[in-house]
Amino acid sequence: MAETGASPLPPTPPARSPLARAEHFVWLTARVLEQRLFAHHFRGGDAGPVETALDAYRNEDGGYGHALEPDLRGPVSQPLHTAHALHVLDAVGRCGGQRVEHLCRYLTSVSTPDGALPVIRPSRHGHPVAPFVQVVDDPPGELLATGPVVGLLHRNEVWHAWLFRATDFCWRAVESLRASHPYEVQAAVTFLDSVPDRPRAEAAADRLGRLVRERRLAVLDPDDRDAYPVAPGHAPGEHHFPHDYARTTHSLARAWFTDDEMARSLDFLATQQEDDGGWPVRRRRWAPAPTLEARPRATLDALLTLRAYGRSVG
């Protein structure tokens, strides 16, 4: 018997719709966290179970570990894990309160002297890490790690002492870019999409968009991918497309691409759903578990991007 007063679930999608196929894939392969996120985004699920699932990755220092970011294994807190945790909290509207206060304390404790975050801090425990992630004894602060965190905190109007120097670092890093790679550009976009100084952000985004096009960092013709270089150190075929930079219509990166270029990008994204219902991970595969754990996240990202542009997923 249905619970009195309970909100009805959204209708079950058609059996062979992209959403139904993706839902089957998620329940077949995903971690509890991604299962809860799928339920929240597409089945009317509450945010609470997402937070509960995320808590399993949280450490006493306020950071996150335990392979939350699949390419970094082991329990140790790392900035990339913590950035992903913040992304999850933002996605479910729970980016605030004591949880984020503790998270910011962790960020303060691991920042470099210039107020930025390193991509990965060295761990004395020697846990496995993807071979394409460089581990050094004294890592520098990088836009790749700092930009998304600063951007999401600004987006949620979180104010903490750590943010002031970190925001200054991101401005210097973004405005001094003369060469870059796709993941760094994505980090810059997350920062620019939410930083409070909008005129400055728009000017920086305009310059960054010209760099992306000049350096051919976005595949504008999916039918001719071989004509676009893969960034040094990336896996063969690890291309990036307009939809990877402009995940929503409101992103500053949307202005970098024509309507036709974006339409072709989204068409290509839709065709990438595989026979098992999931979307692929384009990064280099180095162990079975990281690839398996990353695909549900890639699947959620694909569905959310398509939906953000008004594409029907079922």
Amino acid at 140: P
Amino acid at 164: F
Q: How far, in Å, CA of 197 to CA of 203, rounded? A: 10
Contacts of 199 (CB under 8 A, 6+ apart): none
Name the band, by pLDDT with cuts 50, 70 and 90, for residue 2: very low
Question: Contact, 92 vs 47, CB < 8 A?
Answer: yes
- Whether 3 has a pLDDT exceeding 60, the answer reads no
Contacts of 159 (CB under 8 A, 6+ apart): none
**100-130 per-position pLDDT tens digit:** 999 999 999 999 999 999 999 887 568 889 9
Question: Contact, 263 vs 271, CB < 8 A?
Answer: no
What is the separation of C-alpha 293 from the centre of its chain, rounded to a whole number of angstroms? 14
In this prediction, residue 193 carries a pLDDT of: 98
Residue 191 belongs to what H/E stretch? Answer: helix 182-192
Which pair of structure tokens corresponds to residue 234? Answer: 């990336």
**227-285 per-position pLDDT tens digit:** 999 988 899 999 999 999 999 999 999 999 999 999 999 999 999 999 999 999 998 88
In this prediction, residue 289 carries a pLDDT of: 94
Q: How far, in Å, CA of 229 to CA of 247, rounded? A: 22
Name the band, by pLDDT with cuts 50, 70 and 90, for residue 11: low
- Whether 206 has a pLDDT exceeding 50, the answer reads yes
Name the band, by pLDDT with cuts 50, 70 and 90, for residue 32: very high
**153-175 per-position pLDDT tens digit:** 999 999 999 999 999 999 999 99
In this prediction, residue 104 carries a pLDDT of: 95
Query: CA 200, 206, 210: angle at the middle one, nearest 5?
Result: 145
- Whether 54 has a pLDDT exceeding 70, the answer reads yes
Contacts of 169 (CB under 8 A, 6+ apart): 114, 115, 116, 141, 143, 146
- Whether 80 has a pLDDT exceeding 80, the answer reads yes
Amino acid at 262: M
